[in-house]
Amino acid sequence: MSLKLVRLDDRLIHGQVVVGWGNALAADHILLIDDEVAVNDWEKELYRMGVPPEMGVEFCSVTDAGTALDRCANSDKRTIVLVGDVETLLGTCEASDLVRRVNIGGVHERDGRSRRLAYVFLTDDEAAALRRLSEAGIEVTARDVPSSKPVPVWDFT
């Protein structure tokens, strides 16, 4: 399988993902799943600028996630899948049974969220949704960088 990482990170494409995770996983492709970005050429171009020329990047909506995940999984490309929020993560997991593990990478502070880890802030509803994913058989762990130890969902929700 060529899906190397499925990551929830509200910054989407940035250096920690491209350099840190990309190098650690020898990734050569990013699939960014986000309804708003998928239809906004300006945002897509901004995210493309953060990706080195040798790494491919594609964008899709949650509706098209199943097809895109199937294509990436059956490709020779080593793909990092990025989503920016829990709702998109849930839709992505519902769209394809190929998602068996999820990395919670960076979910930043905003109204209604409380600190769960130094790099993870969640509402109670978001925390409950991540626990439901785990109960459904998807391994959910938090891990900001490849060198850090994964934190099981039950330890931060």
Query: Mean of the pLDDT values across residues 27-39?
Result: 97
Domain 3-155 in CATH 3.40.50.300? The answer is: no
Count Cα atoms within 13 angstroms, Cβ side, for 62. Answer: 15
Query: Mean of the pLDDT values across residues 88-96?
Result: 97
Return mean pLDDT, the chain: 96
Which DSSP helix (H) or strand (E) runs through 82?
Answer: strand 79-83
Cβ atoms of residues 140 and 134 within 8 Å: yes
Domains of the chain, residue spans:
3-155
Helices (H), 2-142: 15, 22-25, 35-38, 41-49, 65-73, 86-95, 124-135
> What DSSP letter does each residue of 112-141 carry, written as one string?
T-EEEETTEEE-HHHHHHHHHHHHTT-EEE
At residue 116's C-alpha, the angle toward residues 110 and 122, to 5°, is 40
pLDDT (0 to 100) of residue 1: 54
